[in-house]
Chain A
Amino acid sequence: MTVTIRTDTVDIELLEIRDFLAANHPFDQLPEDALAELPTMLQVRYFRRDTIISETNSLESYLYLIRTGAVEVFNIENEILARLGEGDVFGYRASHRPNQIEHHCTALEDTLIYQLSAQDVDKLCEHHTQFAYFFSSVVGDRLRDAINQATQVTSSQVNLITTPIRELIQRKPVTISPSASIYETARKMSKERVSSILVCAKGQLAGIVTDRDLRNRVVAEALDVNLPITEIMTFNPSSLKDDTFAFQAQLHMARHNIHHLPITHDDGIAGMVTATDLTKHQTTSVVYMVSDIYKQNKIERMQEVANKIPDLLVNMAVAEASADSVGHLITSITDAITSRLLQLAEERLGPPPVRYVWVAAGSQARNEQTAKSDQDNCMIIDDAYDPRIHADYFRELAKFVCDGLNACGYIYCPGEMMAITDKWRQPLTVWKGYFEKWIDQPEPMSLMLTSVFFDMRRVYGSRNLFREIAEYALEKTRGNRIFLAFMAGNALSHQPPIGFFRNFVLIKGGEHNQTFDVKHNGIVPIVDLARVYSLAAGSKAVNTLDRLDVVAEGGEVTSEGAHDLKDALEFICYLRIQHQARLIKAGEPADNFMSPDHLSHFERNHLKDAFSVVRTMQNTLSQRYKM
């Protein structure tokens, strides 16, 4: 006898299982009624750790969904294809990649599995195209891809974050030679139906002409249309490289109040992106926030904007944006606030008497801020600086900006590494002296300062000043193995919280009992490692992922090692963002103390892998520099 379930009861009773299905891809693609029915098609199985799963049922006859635990999938050569965790599917039609035929799998942990027969899968696919789509395309569930998956932008809200600008280019660039007349230009624009045209000489961008230029500079002025186009074009328009993220392009346009943005690549012009191209894609709140900041004249209003950062973090965490893009986004807000404060300060105090550059240090420099952090910044002034005459101006300027940042929630740096401190607001020569002293006498205090000030990025002010100090520092460190050894020793002072037996080493007692400090023991070690590699390679890169890319090419670390570190960093940061978002949602202040209890088995395992990678790299470094 078969007992059918009365639908009225199932809705309530198997809700637990239904909810789980609804939360996981591809079942989330099913409509409500199909979801309600789905649990009754399932069989539940349990596999002990290290046992073979496809023992009695071959992988072709069922689709498996992991309820708890973790599973490793192998191909016929016994090479591991994927490490799957809670909510992942495998088996029937789940993997269609050539050379990645799932052959057998084993339970990595004690695992509870829901299985759905092949016939039922086929039936569901027949009726639900979206569900079927999952099985038709290549959707690997390898857990190396876990990060990719997690960071795939699922909401259109933030997909500008991860999209490189080149993907928004609609067509080949429409260009015209500088020798053309205004008339010819206008003809070409209307023929090509474009609102702007690029003026190019020998493949290089010379200028840009827009509809508005034709209106304002030609028609309104009643200019002779036979004049060369160079009469009215905008020379050397600002452009961006084609690998810039779309949101950065949007920020750029918002900031400079332009609507047409030429995009370049290595060998010339790649195309043009207009404000409309960008708004076709959902605009992000970040862009609004930044353009908002540039409109503000009062600190109180900027404060309001800054107060939205936690919400933004939560949004991005929900959208599972990659940690890298979150870092870039949040930092771009900090940059915007800093720049706007400096603009306001200059308006108030008058233009600067000598050149200066405002430099961000630490995580802001690396584009790695998350929830609001301390401010780390400094000011480098031209050597023409005369303390008797100019000291007041720059003190006021720095005070205005640092106070403003503090008001916006970027609290004063406890180590006083801010431009408001006299020591960190000095002319170039003094700064060179600082670097020389730190490098020649790497005492603990110097090392701490170098780890902050070697991560520097210009935010506002003279590019040349910044380049001089950055190049000076690099030149001093390049090949200086003794200094690098001290840096290496310093990089080893924070160790991943993992014990000899791959157990988590947790803080005992106190406010943060049974947690670990994901910042100091998870992220800082990787950031420190990347800094040492990067200095040894003499690279200018500041962002940790960029640094790892550069050093892998230079051979300071193997590309495999760099890749592993990047993955580890991305995963740890991703967990931290999720953790902070969880706290913010609960109305608590964001912190860095994570408890392994809040992680799934899969996450815990993967985190341990990440920590092991860091430990291996630290050991190698310590051996090389004998510290």
Chain B
Amino acid sequence: MSIWKFLFNLDERRYWYLRKMPAGPLREYYESTFPTPDTDWRQVEYLALDFETTGLDKDKDEILSIGYVPIRGQSLRLGEADHFLSRPVRAIPESSAVIHGIMDDTASSARPLEEALPRLLKSLESRVLVAHHAAVEYEFLSKACKRIYGYPFIAPVVDTLALEVRIFRSMDKPIRSGDLRLDKARVRYNLPRYPAHNALIDAIAAGELFLAQSTYRKRRKRALRLKDMTVIT
């Protein structure tokens, strides 16, 4: 897997999938090109995304709600934000319900993920995915696409958590436990305190954090490019 990624860059892999992909929302998604890694990061559009899930195991747990907000021209476009629930197949475990507050009866009135996913993929077209600890969103999304469309999901990704680690390292600051949590990271940038565990609020939170982090990475001789920001390109 890693050699595969090493040998082929993201766009090449996109072509690879496109070659054999049947028509459908995922194919439409893959038909739009990814932003190239060498573009100025400010020219790129992003989508800050957050899922609430029934747990953290991508093989067992399911997506409960999806929230996202696009970032264009260094500003969060709240008017284009979206948030919706998706109906899980299994019952929501109590351990997760206490976190995100989504109950079985709320969730049961939502549409299944199959109907929700196209909307999300449409919003992701030509954009870079932004999330805090993006591996969760990325893997759940990939898993869902595999299950529904038979192919995995790939995209350029900015992980605000990974950016935060880089910033800590560049300043030679030791990282203590909890320092990298979304709310703790936001405090450092003087961002307001939001209630956590609502997909849209968390997505906005991650988006704002990204804006903040990017201003702190600006001071360089050459303009920053997309590849300076992303963890998956």
User: A111 contacts the other chain (Cβ, under 8 Å)?
Assistant: yes
Known: A3-B82, A16-B195, A44-B204. A68 touches B190 (CB 8 A): yes
Check if A355 is an interface residue, CB within 8 A of chain B: no
Contacts of B201 in A (CB 8 A): 13, 16
At the interface, yes or no: B4 with Cβ under 8 Å from chain A? no
Residue from the list B79, B190, B198 in contact with A41, Cβ < 8 A: B79
Of B76, B190, B195, the contact of A43 (CB 8 Å cutoff):
B76
Bound CA span A48–B188, Å: 12
Of B80, B191, B192, B207, the contact of A2 (CB 8 Å cutoff):
B80
* CA A51 to CA B212, docked complex, whole Å: 12
Q: Is A1 an interface residue (CB 8 A)?
A: yes
A-B contact number at CB 8 A = 88
Bound form: Cα–Cα A158–B74 in Å: 45
C-alpha spacing A41/B77, complex, angstroms: 8
Q: How far is the CA of A41 from the CA of B73 in the complex (A)?
A: 16
B205's nearest neighbour on chain A, judged by CB, is A16
Instruction: Give the secondary structure class of A's interface.
Output: mixed
The reply to whether the CB of B81 lies closer than 8 angstroms to some CB of chain A is: yes
Complex Cα distance A46/B210, Å?
9
Instruction: List the B side residues contacting A478 at CB < 8 Å.
Output: none
B6 within 8 A of partner (CB): no
**Binary interface profile of A, 17-32, with partner B (CB < 8 Å = 1, else 0)?**
1001000000000000
Docked-complex contact A43 and B67, CB < 8 angstroms? no
- B77 and A48 within 8 A (CB): no
Whether the pair A112, B74 counts as a contact (CB closer than 8 A) is: no
- Does B207 lie within 8 Å of A109, measured CB to CB? no
- CB <8 Å contact, A44 and B189: no
Q: Residue B75 contacts which of A14, A45, A67 (CB distance < 8 angstroms)?
A: A45
Q: Is A47 an interface residue (CB 8 A)?
A: yes
Query: Which residues of B have CB within 8 Å of A42?
Result: 78-79
CB closest residue in chain A, given B188: A110
Contact of A44 among B67, B122, B198, B211 (CB under 8 A): B211
Q: Which of B70-94 contact A (CB under 8 A)?
A: 73-84
Tell me whether A43 and B122 are in contact in the complex, defined as CB-CB below 8 angstroms, given that A13-B83, A48-B215, A51-B215 are known contacts.
no
B166 contacts the other chain (CB 8 A):
no
With both chains docked as a complex, state the minimum distance between the C-beta of B215 and any C-beta of chain A, in angstroms. 4
Whether the Cβ atoms of A44 and B207 lie closer than 8 Å is yes
Q: Is the CB of A41 within 8 A of B215?
A: no
User: Which parts of A1-18 form the interface with B (CB within 8 Å)?
Assistant: 1-3, 5-6, 9-10, 12-14, 16-17
Interface residues of A in 82-125 (CB under 8 A from B): 109-112, 115
In the complex the two chains form, what is the Cα distance from A45 to B195 in whole Å? 19
State which of B78, B122, B216 has its C-beta within 8 Å of the C-beta of A14.
Answer: B78
B215, A1: Cβ atoms closer than 8 Å: no
A56 within 8 Å of B by Cβ?
yes
Contact B75 A47 (CB under 8 A): no
Contact status A16-B194, CB under 8 Å: yes
**Does A9 lie within 8 Å of B84, measured CB to CB?**
yes
For chain B, the count of residues having a C-beta within 8 Å of the partner chain is 33
B36 at the interface (CB under 8 A from A): no
- Once A13-B67, A13-B198, A51-B215 are accepted as A-B contacts, the answer to whether A601 and B76 lie under 8 Å apart by CB is no
A40 contacts partner chain B, Cβ-Cβ < 8 Å: yes
Q: Would you call B119 an interface residue if the criterion is a C-beta within 8 Å of the partner chain's C-beta atoms?
A: yes
Answer yes or no: A310 CB below 8 A from chain B CBs: no
* A17 engages B78 (CB within 8 Å): yes
Task: Tell me the complex Cα distance, A1–B123, Å.
Answer: 8
Residue of A nearest to B72 (CB): A43
B144 within 8 A of A: no
A327 proximal to B (CB < 8 A): no
Give Cα distance in the complex from A110 to B81, angstroms. 24
Question: Bound complex: CA of A51 vs CA of B191, how far in Å?
Answer: 16
In B171-213, which residues have CB < 8 Å from any A CB? 189-192, 194-195, 198, 200-201, 204, 207-208, 211-212
CB of A69 within 8 Å of the partner chain = yes
Contact between chains at B79 and A112 (CB < 8 Å): no
A396 to chain B minimum Cβ distance, whole angstroms, is 59
Chain A residues near B192: list those with CB within 8 A: 20, 67-68, 112
Residue in contact with A3 in the complex, picked from B80, B191, B212, B215, CB distance below 8 Å: B80
User: Are A1 and B122 within 8 A (Cβ)?
Assistant: yes
> By the criterion CB–CB under 8 Å, are B189 and A110 in contact?
yes
What residues of B have a CB within 8 angstroms of the CB of A5 in the complex? 79, 81-83
Q: Which residue of B lies closest to A114 (CB)?
A: B78
Question: Contacting B123 at CB < 8 Å: which of A3, A16, A48?
Answer: A3
Residues of A within 8 A of B76 (CB): 43-45
A9 touches B123 (CB 8 A): no
Minimum C-beta distance from A257 to chain B (A): 54
Which residues on the B side are within 8 Å of A14 (C-beta)? Answer: 78, 81, 200
- Among the listed B73, B78, B215, which residue makes an inter-chain contact with A47, where contact means beta carbons less than 8 Å apart? B215
Q: How far is the CB of B105 from chain A (nearest CB, A)?
A: 16
Tell me the smallest distance from the CB of A64 to a CB of chain B, in Å: 11
Give Cα A110–Cα B190 distance, bound, in whole angstroms. Answer: 6
Chain A neighbourhood of B73, CB < 8 A: 56
User: What mask results when residues 207 to 233 of chain B are scored 1 for a CB within 8 Å of chain A, else 0?
Assistant: 110011001101000000000000000
Chain B CB within 8 A of A525 CB: no
Give the complex CA separation of A2 and B78 in angstroms: 12
CB nearest to A109 among chain B residues: B190
Q: A67-B192, A111-B190 are in contact. List 12 more A-B contacts (CB 8 A).
A: A2-B80, A13-B200, A16-B194, A16-B195, A20-B192, A39-B78, A45-B75, A46-B189, A69-B190, A110-B189, A110-B190, A112-B191
17 interchain pairs, CB-CB under 8 A: A3-B82, A3-B119, A5-B81, A13-B198, A14-B78, A40-B79, A43-B78, A43-B79, A44-B207, A44-B208, A46-B189, A46-B208, A51-B215, A56-B73, A68-B192, A110-B189, A110-B212
* Closest CB pairs A-B (n = 8): A44-B76, A46-B211, A110-B190, A48-B215, A43-B75, A13-B200, A40-B79, A42-B78
